[in-house]
């Protein structure tokens, strides 16, 4: 019964039912401060839903403040990890909620952040394992946000390193992994090929270039979806941008020939960008 509960919740993370995902993280308000004025939050959420986002990612307190009708066609992911830009170690993530609390909020999934290579990596790994155990007990999908960050990382875009991170997430019990994108972009296919679980591409292009072209390239490399926050919520037209990205993720905005051309173009644009 619990296994089918997890399957039902995973299904809600893909509106089209194709096991592809466009998620919009909005947890930046804890790490960096307000992302929109307080009275604009509902407007932002309605724009994301109208554009076709499969899910949003927020902290527990924010999840309590939504107007009840907003997420009728959009999944809720509650983020369990936190740190702030004011910390002595910005890479140190701590758990600030748990699976049971997320369930009371109506969450369809939870997410946990781990920075591999950080000074507190050991505790973050222990936290991920503990959350995975609770997720199995309650039938809750787990998205692991695993990044190569900290003093021990030489090349955060190394595909072998990113493949390692994906396997860390899988081996500790995550159902999906959100991580950085390899450079050159076509080598993201190696990360995907070596990951036992679906890979979601994080963020946007490191040089600020076209977001839709970036999304097309990483989907063509085999990623199962996109998890993009700042470039979407800071857009003057988030609904339109989400609509374009949703078409890319769910197959309505590209074809094989175009994918190949855009991957080549994107690799040229960002070659050598750290």
Return the active site residues: 27, 147, 178
What single DSSP character describes residue 56? E
Cβ 258 vs Cβ 64: under 8 Å: no
Cβ 132 vs Cβ 164: under 8 Å: no
How would DSSP label each residue in 155-196?
A: -TT-HHHHHHHHHHHHHTT-SEEEEPPPSSGGGHHHHHHT-S
Give the pairing type, strands 94-95 and 81-82. Answer: antiparallel
Adjacent-strand bridge partners of 82: 94
Cα separation, 142 vs 222, whole angstroms = 20
Question: CA 202, 8, 212: angle at the middle one, nearest 5?
Answer: 25
Determine the 3-state secondary structure of 127 from DSSP.
Answer: helix
Would you put residue 224 in left (φ > 0), alpha (ψ -120 to 50) or beta? alpha
């Amino acid at each position: 019964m619990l296994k089918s509960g997890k399957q039902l919740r995973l299904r809600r993370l893909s509106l089209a039912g194709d096991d592809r995902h466009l998620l919009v993280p909005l947890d930046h308000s804890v790490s960096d401060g307000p992302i929109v004025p307080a009275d604009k939050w509902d407007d932002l959420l309605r724009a994301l839903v109208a554009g076709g986002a499969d899910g949003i990612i927020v902290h527990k307190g924010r999840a309590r403040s939504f107007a009840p009708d907003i997420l009728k066609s959009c999944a809720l992911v509650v983020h369990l990890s936190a740190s702030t830009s004011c910390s002595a170690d910005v890479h140190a993530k701590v758990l600030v909620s748990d699976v049971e609390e997320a369930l009371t909020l109506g969450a369809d999934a939870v997410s946990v952040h781990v920075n591999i290579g950080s000074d507190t990596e050991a505790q973050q790994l222990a936290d991920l394992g503990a959350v995975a155990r609770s997720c199995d007990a309650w039938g809750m999908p787990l998205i692991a946000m695993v990044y190569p960050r900290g003093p021990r990382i030489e090349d955060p875009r190394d595909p072998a390193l990113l493949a390692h991170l994906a396997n860390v997430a899988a081996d500790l019990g995550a159902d999906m992994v959100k991580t950085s994108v390899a450079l050159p972009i076509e080598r993201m296919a190696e990360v995907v090929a070596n990951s036992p679980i679906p890979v979601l591409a994080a963020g946007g292009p490191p040089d600020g270039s076209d977001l839709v072209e970036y999304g097309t390239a990483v989907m063509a490399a085999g990623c199962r979806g996109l998890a993009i926050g700042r470039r979407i919520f800071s857009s003057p037209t988030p609904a339109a941008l989400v609509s374009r990205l949703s078409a890319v993720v769910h197959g309505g905005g590209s074809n094989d020939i175009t994918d190949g051309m855009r991957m080549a173009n994107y690799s040229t644009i960002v070659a050598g960008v750290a």
